[in-house]
Structure 1
Amino acid sequence: MEISALTKWPKALADPSGSRASKPRSAGLTMVIDKGLGLHSFAELLETADEYIDIVKFGFGTSPLYKTPVLRSKIELAKRHGITVIPGGTLLEIAVSKDVVPAFFRQILTLGFDGIEVSDGTITLGRKDRDELIRDGSALGLRVFTEYGKKLFGSRIDAEQFAETAERDLAAGAELVTVEARESGVGVGLFDERGMCRQQDLESMLRLIPFPSRIMWEAPQKEQQVALIKALGSDVNLGNILVNDVMALETMRRGLRSDTFDHRLAYSDYMI
């Protein structure tokens, strides 16, 4: 056998699930949280795993702390790899609280960000203001992702309120609605104080959501990713993935790891 014939893995080995779509994809999105990677480390991440990353979020309020040339370079590099780049929702919450939202939008457009996260994990954001931020971002040509849930330890998800909020966010122009879990994934939203998935809460949410493919679940821990893949299929949208876990998550999506070896179903198989 010629060596050239060995350069590509058989599909049965590269993707045993047979369902993983290539980029740009509309489901099975992976959002990575970058908490301060240097430019070289960021470039190495994309060189290795760009095909498995759809969105990079520069976590919380880290964006203003970068040297501007470094921040611009990271944003441009990600976009060249077909990855949407957004600042953390907390930064927009600060802009709201300081009454500098127009300046926030001007700056992120100048820097090259192509998306935003609208959230109220720390502040209280009324429905009118939430709609306005979503529409303003969309009107500026930005991809808008919203987030539901509070960052306070012990906070839970109200399934009916979540479904109502998600429906209105999407109607206002949001592309995806994210379920808050913070970067720790412990004691917030869907996950309990040990980081375990509250299965009854998940089932209650799914019964009320007519559009599961437009929901993203923050799931920074491996066990949480496994639970959501088993419950919702390999095309579940997952967020706040740590930079060192991108490849590992992709193996679980494809059934290339024992944790999900027998759970290689597509998202559509789980539509309610």
Structure 2
Amino acid sequence: MRSDTRTAWPASLLDPSSMREMFCRTACRQPQQKMAGRGQTMVIDKGLGMHAFTDLLETAGSYIDCLKLGFGTAPLYPIDLLLNKIELAKRHGLIVMPGGTLLEAAVQQEAVPAFFETVCRLGFNGIEVSDGTIELSRQQRSALIREGVRSGLRVVSEYGKKLSGSIIEADELAFTADADWNAGAELVTIEARESGKGVGLFDEDGECREDVLDSICRIIPDFSRIMWEAPLKNQQVLLLCMLGANVHLGNIPPSDTLTLETMRRGLRSDTFSLGKQQEELLHYMI
């Protein structure tokens, strides 16, 4: 039987930040509030086989909250493999969802009812509502979110375009986020694509547009329902240092799941002093 690392190591070495484990215990007592509790980690799966998928969940499943089968990959899996991945993810207590691009394709193909029927029949328990590639009216976007909620799914929406050079407009983000939350979305994700370059918060080199981040922080001071796509290490470090260990981060590559958790806890040199900042930054996450 696999031992629990929480009993194998001194508590001071498990979480030097002193905050991460407190949030984990709170989330475990209140699973219905998990998506809005401690800092969430959304991992993007771009085509893992079952062995790699199983290894990921055995090694780092405790540190994943949401697992997205990226883009439109879900229909391309052999059905038995897809069902096994969904079942295993849910067994680990994860939200598992297809990528938002698949729902955008369903809108374009006029197949939205079939999309929701199939998602529920296959056992997904979440969806991503986005318009990164197509254009959705505000009415359409809200209707899709509400349909997801009516179908018993956890809904994460996404703000931003996938076109290279797209930049976040803070005022528009705030308006969209409020409308999405009112429609039933639990988190609003800020687009950065899986490359982390040339879109949204990040420039062509993957560096943060700090003026954009500053404007977002002024208009949306509470990030408890905002998730930032940050697939690159330097992006994760910056957001952790600026917004705290419990900032929600998405589009994390599977191989970086455990690494991100060490940075959240101050167990890597990049964020070694993170724990000293937690009391000042805690109000962002609760």
Q: TM-score, normalised on structure 1?
A: 0.95
**1: CA distance, partners of 2:223 / 2:128:** 19
User: Partner of 2:15 in structure 1?
Assistant: 15
Residue 114 (structure 1) aligned to one of 110, 125, 142: 125
Query: Equivalent residues in 2 for 1:100-179 (5 A)?
Result: 100-179=111-190
In structure 1, what is the equivalent of residue 233 of structure 2? 222
Moved more, 225-234 or 22-31: 22-31
Seen in structure 2, the aligned counterparts of structure 1 residues 5 and 166 have a Cα distance that, compared at 3 Å, is: closer
RMSD: 1.7
Q: Secondary structure at the match of 1:188?
A: coil
C-alpha displacement of 1:15: 0.4
Q: What are the equivalent positions in structure 2 for 1:192-207 lying under 5 Å apart?
A: 192-207=203-218
Cα displacement (A) at 1:7: 5.0
Contact 2:247–2:285 at 8 Å: present in 1 too? Answer: no
Mapping of 1:1-272 within 5 angstroms? Answer: 8-20=8-20, 21-22=23-24, 23=28, 24=31, 25=34, 26-264=37-275, 265-266=277-278, 267-270=281-284
Structure 1 residue 203, shift from structure 2 partner: 1.1
Contact kept, 8 Å, 2:266 with 2:274, in 1: the verdict is yes
Unaligned runs of 5+ in 1: none
Q: Report how far residue 271 of structure 1 moved.
A: 6.8
Change (3 A) 1:207 1:126: same
Q: CA deviation at 1:142?
A: 0.3
**Which amino acid in 1 is paired with 2:9?**
W
Cα contact 1:155–1:187 (8 A) shared by 2: yes
Q: Deviations over 1:3-49 (max 9, x none)?
A: x9995211110100111122554231000000000011101100000
What is the letter of the counterpart of residue 122 of structure 1?
Answer: T
Determine if contact 2:38/2:285 at 8 Å carries over to the other structure: no
Q: Deviations over 1:71-105 (max 9, x none)?
A: 00000000000111010000000000110000000
Number of aligned pairs?
Answer: 269
Give TM-score, length-normalised by structure 2. 0.91
Shift of residue 268 of structure 1? 2.3
Q: Secondary structure at the match of 2:97?
A: strand
CA spacing shift, 1:70–1:6, aligned 2, 3 Å: closer
- Residue 212 of structure 1 aligns to a residue whose secondary structure is coil
Q: 1:262: how far off?
A: 1.2
Unaligned runs of at least 5 residues, structure 2? none
1:236-256 CA distances to partner (integer Å, 9 max, x unpaired)? 000000000001000000000
Does structure 2 retain, via aligned residues, the 8 Å contact 1:233–1:269? no
